[in-house]
Chains A and B, each alone.
Chain A
Amino acid sequence: MSGPLAKLPGWGIAKGMLFTLYRFFSPKVTVQYPEVVQEISPKHRGRLILLYDEAGNLKCETCFQCAMACPIEIIDMGGVDTKNRYHVHWGPAEQYAERREESPLRRSGRPVPDRSFQAWRSIDLGPLDRILVEEDYDPRRMLRILERTQQAYDHLPVAALQHISHATGAWYSEIYGVATSYPHLRFEPGRVAEIGICRCPTCVMLGAGRVRQALEEALATEVGGVSPDGAVRLTGVECGGESQNEPLVALDGQTQPGMTADRARELATSLRAGTARPGAA
């Protein structure tokens, strides 16, 4: 608050004390580690950052251990040549056994063409630019930008991530790290199947509770959430009092008759398995 009150001596102290009192009663963020393991998106790979020492030199020794260990092969030590034609690797040739014949070229310090390289599929950047303008190119709103990008393109295309990196100034690896951290962000186009379950008293009496529990266990999320791999969304629907003998369960708006807890679990598991991708749980 500003105005005449803010000039009062001790006003800042009072404001600070109120703030700490508010924090005193706020929910705590501690996770009791050995007992409780924090839920991390299975595709999370952390923030990929190259470190610099005090003198500003890159600490990377180009050992390629990271590139070889990376399960999703995101680490690619190289770049694009000055004319943006070839994908090149600058590391020691010994790490690229299959391309050993190129090593004299690489040792001479000249760019080596990478025949297996494919340019990123280009996308229409119009919607993304609008989003970026609306979010003020602010890297602190990265999650919001990524969510809106996914809304616009149905997934996060690499071209979009690169464009976001260029526009906001945030490192690509950081953006990628953020995107891996959230279960609801996905890198490949995919349709989210939607399982609806009615929670009205009638359906609960008919066993909706057990079905719901089975679904929540199988999808590892609660009603209103998306399974960690982003394959299935679990929502609540209304049966409108039309359930007679069994609880209402709908898949993408289609009523699924004869749904028991076991069958619901099977359905959810098969939906998740059907869209399973490498790098996703």
Chain B
Amino acid sequence: MSVLSRPWNRLTVGGKILLPLLALVVLLTVLLMVGWLTGLIPALIGLGATVITDNIDILRFVAAVTAILLFTVPTAFVIIFMEMKFIAFINLRVGPNRTGPWGTLSSVFHGFKVLAKEDFTPTGADTPVFTLAPVVTYLAAVLGLLVIPFAPGLVGLDMNIGLLYFFAVSGLSVVGLMMGGWSSYNKYSLIGGLRAAAQAISYELPLLLAPVGVVMLAGTLSLNQIVINQAGWFWDWYVFQQPLAFLVFFIAATAEGNRTPFDLTEADSEIVAGFATEYSGMRFGFFFFAEYVNVFILSALTVILFLGGWNAPIDPAPILQFLNVTINPALDPGSLGMGLLFVLGLGVPLLILLLALPVWMLKSDWSFPKSLVVAFILFNVIGAGLAGVWLFLSFEVVVGLVWFTIKTFTLAFVFVWMRGTLPRVRIDQLMGWAWKWLVEIALLNIFLTAGAILLLQELAR
């Protein structure tokens, strides 16, 4: 208690932190007791509960948006890392490998670097618009994520017009690009912005028209329902009924996400990122964060529309039935009673010892503590693996999430792979490709799909 009797400037740093905290705890305790005794706090809690129950939808929306906003950060980091590493592999390099294991932290440090840079606004720039442009671009990407169903029941907002909402919101990114180009007070940025807008708007058309066939087949605009319609084996996926639409959509998505070979909006080797020329620091970072979030979103949307979303490619039920196997992973640790305590208390150390013995015997030059540490890591890996298997077998959500993640990141890999392979196209080729081919093919696909549906109805009658 000498901390209380000392003058403030004689305290250590720890004391200077501890003393205010101590005072705060005392104050809060007193306040809580007084509030509880006078009945003020229970009343407040009751009021809060009613407010929450009355506005549960708003709260759920806010929670979903926050969760998705937070979700974009690691996703973008993973995709940025994937891009750095995989393009390096394609170039026969090893890529980032210094920060973190296998360089996994390098994109995090890129983030820190961007944060630490000066956030610069050019003289003459339209400051509010200039500041808002990256936010608009980023929000367009993040809000699109809101309707993406990750797994059965795991969707930010299950809208019945999900697809429409998605395109409406992601179309906002054009506004962001235009804002950035316009407000920079730089004619090259303006040209870059216009160029980006021209590309984005041109490719919005086939991007919108291609899924119309899918919508006609599914009979709904709800992304969740579209995924549910594709349940079963992998040949139930819409890619096999709509191969043309899939191709058009994928190409248009490449252009819409500003990915090579259609990355003319940014074209870092030629027009130094066009509309974003005047941006620095985190505002520049947001533009590119948005791009990588877009890669994820477009991959996810392609997976949802054409590749069965969170559905597994095989339906395990008939196979299990054929093999006469039933999987019942339900665990009931409570049934062990006091035994559970023994299992937790003794079983874990015993298992680690059991794992350490063969390690120690095989690696004759390792000391026993070293083998113990390795065994502990091994135990954790095995335990996490078993827990993962148990989760996979017990919860539909986990199964769906696993398949969705695998498919989405495979497609993201294809985007990276294309970037490592294909050269950038010319602007006239880019525009011609959209207007002369993709739009027409998408329209043809709509007619074909409609005809096929009518034909099937006639035949069924």
Contact = CB atoms under 8 A, between A and B. Distances in A.
Contact of A21 (B92, B93, B417, B422): B417
A28 B88 CA distance: 9
A245 interface: no
Contacts of A26: 92
B315 to A, nearest CB: 30
A28 B92 contact: yes
A17 B92 contact: no
A115 interface: no
A24 interface: yes
Nearest to A21: B417
Contacts of B94: 28, 30, 32
B422 A23 contact: no
A17 B421 contact: yes
B90 A20 contact: yes
A13 interface: yes
A17 B90 contact: no
B422 A29 contact: no
Contact of B92 (A13, A16, A23): A23
A20 B90 CA distance: 6
A28 B417 contact: no
A16 B93 contact: no
A29 B92 contact: yes
Contacts of B97: 32
B99 to A, nearest CB: 14
Contacts of A20: 90, 417, 420-421
B90 to A, nearest CB: 5
A24 B418 contact: no
Interface in A84-99: none
Interface in A171-213: none
Interface in B78-115: 86, 89-94, 97
B455 to A, nearest CB: 29
Given A16-B421, A17-B417, A24 B93 contact: no
A26 to B, nearest CB: 6
Nearest to B92: A29
Nearest to A31: B94
Q: How large is the interface on A (under 10, 10 to 19, 20 to 34, 35 or more residues)?
A: 10 to 19
Contacts of A32: 94, 97
Contacts of A16: 421-422
Nearest to B420: A20
Interface in A22-69: 23-30, 32
Among A20, A26, A27, which residue has the most Cβ atoms of chain B within 10 A? A20
Interface string A1-29: 00000000000010011011101111111
A24 B86 CA distance: 7
A29 B93 contact: yes
Given A17-B417, A20-B417, A21-B417, A28 B89 contact: yes
B414 to A, nearest CB: 9
Contacts of A17: 417-418, 421
A13 B414 CA distance: 13
Contacts of A23: 89-92
A24 B89 contact: yes
Contacts of B418: 17
B83 to A, nearest CB: 13
B440 to A, nearest CB: 15
Nearest to A29: B92
A237 B221 CA distance: 74
Interface string B176-189: 00000000000000
Contact of A13 (B86, B420, B422): B422
A28 B93 contact: yes
Contacts of B93: 28-30
A27 B93 CA distance: 9
A30 B97 CA distance: 11
Contacts of A13: 421-422
A21 B86 CA distance: 10
Interface in B409-460: 417-418, 420-422
Nearest to B98: A32
A16 B261 CA distance: 13
Nearest to A19: B421
Interface in A149-176: none
A23 B92 CA distance: 7
Contacts of B91: 23
Nearest to A12: B422
Contacts of B92: 23, 26-30
Contacts of B417: 17, 20-21, 24
A13 B260 CA distance: 13
Contacts of A27: 92
Contacts of A21: 417
Nearest to A30: B94
Contacts of B86: 24
Contacts of A25: 89
Nearest to A10: B247
A26 B93 CA distance: 10
A24 B90 contact: yes
B419 to A, nearest CB: 10
Interface in B196-240: none
Contacts of A19: 421
Among A13, A24, A25, which residue has the most Cβ atoms of chain B within 10 A? A24
Contacts of B89: 23-25, 28
A168 B418 CA distance: 40
A32 B93 CA distance: 10
Contacts of A28: 89, 92-94
B30 to A, nearest CB: 60
A88 B93 CA distance: 48
A15 to B, nearest CB: 10
A249 to B, nearest CB: 28
B352 to A, nearest CB: 33
A23 to B, nearest CB: 5
Interface in A79-127: none
Interface in B380-420: 417-418, 420
A66 B421 CA distance: 43
A21 B417 CA distance: 8
Nearest to A23: B90
Interface of A: 13, 16-17, 19-21, 23-30, 32
6 contacts: A16-B421, A17-B417, A17-B418, A23-B89, A23-B90, A28-B89
Given A16-B422, A25-B89, A32-B97, 8 more contacts: A20-B90, A20-B420, A23-B92, A24-B90, A26-B92, A27-B92, A28-B89, A29-B92
Q: Which 9 A-B pairs have the closest CB atoms?
A: A20-B421, A30-B94, A20-B90, A16-B421, A29-B92, A24-B89, A28-B94, A30-B93, A24-B90
Interface of B: 86, 89-94, 97, 417-418, 420-422
